[in-house]
Amino acid sequence: MMDGTTPLIALDAVVIDSETTGLDPRSARVVELAAVRLVGGRIEIEGAFRRLINPGGPIPLAATRVHGIDDAAVTDAPAFRGIWPEFSDAWANAVVIGHTIGFDLAVLERACCWSAAGMP
């Protein structure tokens, strides 16, 4: 375009989503992360990211009723710090979009801080 703008469809983007143990980003723990890239306005199914995460504690029944993920589903899943490098690579250099993205980013920021401190 002549005015220096870029149409949104021309940008690489990634749609991210998290499932958690609750709705308060100050205490919720991640139990699943997913990401899919949009390139040229098309969904790139190949390379989509979806991983269960062991939150290091019990998943409340109220949360399981929302997303269907229970303690048994995450028993053998890695801790957050085990999947973060792969997940963050999935959305490097892309515009990040998602439903309730503010919540997702707040939970991810907190999880990264916990991981840096050596917590699960």
What pLDDT does residue 120 have?
52
What pLDDT does residue 67 have?
97
Instruction: Tell me if residue 99 falls in helix, strand or coil.
Output: coil
Q: What is the DSSP letter of 100?
A: T
Q: How far is CA 19 from CA 8, 39, 65, 104, 110, in A?
A: 27, 24, 12, 9, 14
Rounded mean pLDDT of 42-66? Answer: 94
Instruction: Assign domain 8-116 one CATH number from 3.40.1390.10, 3.30.420.10, 3.40.50.300, 1.10.1740.10.
Output: 3.30.420.10
What pLDDT does residue 1 have?
46
Best mean pLDDT range from 29-33, 83-87, 92-96: 29-33
Rounded mean pLDDT of 68-92? Answer: 93
Q: How far is CA 51 from CA 4, 18, 79, 99, in A?
A: 38, 10, 10, 18
